[in-house]
Chain A
Amino acid sequence: MSVPVRAWARVLDNRPAARDTHWIELDCPAIAGAARPGQFVMLGTGVQDLAAPFLPRPFSIGTRTADGRLGFLLRVFGDGTRRLAEMGPPESMLVLGPLGRPFRMSGDRPLLCLAGGVGLAPFLFAGAQARLEGLELRIVYGERSGESVFDPDLIRRITGVEPDLRTEDGTVGRRGLVLDHLDLQDAPQLLACGPDPMLRACVDLAARRGLPLQVSVEEHMGCGVGTCQGCVVRSADGEWIKSCTEGPVFDAEELSWQT
């Protein structure tokens, strides 16, 4: 497992990427080198700044470059993300990472990434990594509406694959949800990241079709490194387990999906 590092990182770039969504790049060589797809970092503004985010917030690593840049797809959700989305050069963010258990990517079966909303972020990294390792990978990416869609050209440039787009209102790509019109003929291994109802639908689908599934879950976090026990999810054997260290990526069978 990679050892987490704490570092102040300069914001190198902040570009609007879709509605309420920013593409942010940080200069973070101490963390970039060790990162694996599916891992995340905590982003914050340090102890001297009491405005939200006071507690750091978790974000999936979207891209990393050889010269130590980390890229994030950040969607404004509440006060903390609004503030982070406003930051640009020459400001710095306090970064803790890389954190958590990554996706396990093997060549046993083709990889099918199921991305709901900013759940796309870890699959940018996964796609780039699959290209390096010569693994077969597809991305199905859904948003509510076309104005929320992250630029498909950029997705192609980062991952080398053409995303299969869905919007609920049909403004871009096919009309429907991520799991509508899925092609599962190649018996893929499923990797899913997105809102809870989508993850539950993925669990049902994987069980019905007998396909392996890894999910990346989201829970409120305090520390991100396993000390506060704030980020728990229910395990299949009924215990509360920490999603920051035992996850955020789990095999679907490791978790309880009862409501």
Chain B
Amino acid sequence: MADLSQHLLGTDFQSPVLLASGTCGYGQEYADLIPLDEIGGMVTKAVSREPREGNPPHRVAETPGGMINAIGLQNVGLERFRLEKLPWLRENLRVAQVLINVVGHSAEDYGSVVSGLDGEDGFLGYEINVSCPNVKDGTLFGTDPTALSALVTRLRDLTERPLVVKLTPNVPDISLYARICEESGADGLSAINTFPGMLIDVEGRRPVIGNVSGGVSGPAILPMGVYLTWRAASAVSIPVIGIGGIRSGDDALQYILAGASLVQVGTALFVDPASAVQVQAGIADYMERHGVGRLPEIVGGLTLPEPR
């Protein structure tokens, strides 16, 4: 058997496959359909200091090769997450690692979520979401180098747990933002969040999505995700988690060869909850076929053409 484990962020992941934020709820919702403790881990739906009510419907619709969503970060807020959701994760995920996706309107907001959860058990660390396209100030921190640096520095002071920053694809040069995160003390990066997009009902001459625009995800964004992961991973030495359109072992391997140490499966779970486990099996199969004993051997193992 190929060894799928990865040692990083100060711990062991039994496999490089995690479930992406917003596509697996707080875990419990998928407990009957996905053997959560047999995969690498999961990232929770975003948690904000106060509960958020989210956007009006329609919130989701299919787009060619994927979907568009504007959930608007509806979530139960820090207190209810701590009291009602975290205990389930703590009790049920013994091996799979849990990252908590954190959002805020201000650096104080992010800080209070991290401080409010830091003393609890049942999770590894944080994925700081500075990249949501579906709320007014969602990408504020992700597109402003100064604000991003200040935010990561501040959160670094608040916790010793792994701090992963989830980058937005919506910047001209992602390597700049990747480096800022690393220099400000981040332990890892997630790349990428959804692309801003819009879908119009031509009969009704109206936007399909209640929020007018939304974030595009799914197989349609795979090549952009691979490219941006490659750019980010080439710019830093901290681990990168590759995200965007993964639905097979080969998709995941594109990210891994581009430099991702872990990957996340999102939209594909809606299509088939078994897809995360299948991605994992696909990676193992590839490793066996190519005689790869351990995953780190192929992380970033892309061969580039000789410069001419």
Q: Which residues of A contact B (CB under 8 A)?
A: 3-4, 6, 44, 46-48, 50, 52-56, 80, 94, 96, 219-233, 239-240, 245
Contact = CB atoms under 8 A, between A and B. Distances in A.
B179 interface: no
A56 B270 CA distance: 8
A220 B57 contact: yes
Interface stretch (B28-36, B156-164, B169-177): B28-36
B59 A54 contact: no
Interface string B50-71: 0001101111111011110101
Contacts of B273: 6, 96, 225
Given A220-B60, A227-B29, 9 more contacts: A47-B278, A48-B248, A55-B270, A220-B59, A223-B269, A229-B71, A231-B59, A240-B57, A240-B74
A1 to B, nearest CB: 10
Interface of B: 22-25, 29-30, 32-33, 45, 53-54, 56-62, 64-67, 69, 71, 74, 218-219, 247-248, 268-275, 278
Nearest to B58: A220
B58 A222 contact: no
Given A44-B272, A55-B67, A222-B67, A4 B74 contact: no
A230 B69 contact: yes
Given A226-B29, A228-B23, A221 B271 contact: no
Nearest to A223: B270
A221 B60 contact: yes
A55 B268 CA distance: 9
Secondary structure of the A side of the interface?
loop
A119 B208 CA distance: 23
A228 B65 contact: no
Given A47-B247, A222-B67, A222-B69, A230 B272 contact: no
B25 A226 contact: yes
Contacts of B56: 240
A50 B57 contact: no
Contacts of A226: 25, 29
Contacts of A48: 247-248
B57 A232 contact: yes
Contacts of B219: 50, 54
A225 B54 contact: no
A226 B23 CA distance: 10
A217 to B, nearest CB: 11
B25 A230 contact: no
Contacts of A232: 54, 57, 59, 74
Contacts of B25: 226-228
B115 to A, nearest CB: 26
A228 B69 contact: yes
Given A47-B248, A225-B30, A230 B71 contact: yes
B58 A54 contact: no
A17 B247 CA distance: 35
B32 A229 contact: no
B65 A50 contact: yes
Contact of B60 (A52, A53, A222, A233): A222
A44 B271 contact: yes
Given A230-B69, A240-B53, A219 B58 contact: yes
Nearest to B66: A54
A100 to B, nearest CB: 13
A81 to B, nearest CB: 12
23 contacts: A4-B32, A6-B33, A6-B273, A46-B272, A47-B268, A47-B275, A48-B248, A54-B65, A54-B218, A54-B219, A55-B67, A55-B270, A219-B57, A220-B59, A220-B61, A222-B69, A223-B269, A224-B270, A228-B270, A229-B45, A231-B57, A231-B59, A232-B54
B69 to A, nearest CB: 6
Nearest to A56: B271
Nearest to B251: A47
Contacts of A220: 57-61
A240 B54 contact: yes
Contacts of A224: 270
B216 to A, nearest CB: 12
**Which one of B57, B66, B269, B274 has the greatest number of beta carbons of chain A within 10 Å?**
B57
A39 to B, nearest CB: 15
A3 B62 CA distance: 26
B57 A222 contact: no
B258 to A, nearest CB: 21
A44 B71 CA distance: 22
A53 B272 CA distance: 12
A47 B248 CA distance: 8
Contacts of A54: 62, 65-67, 218-219, 271
A126 B53 CA distance: 34
A147 to B, nearest CB: 22
Contacts of A96: 33, 273
A228 B71 contact: yes
Contact of A228 (B22, B32, B66, B248): B22
Nearest to A245: B29
Contacts of B270: 55-56, 222-224, 227-228
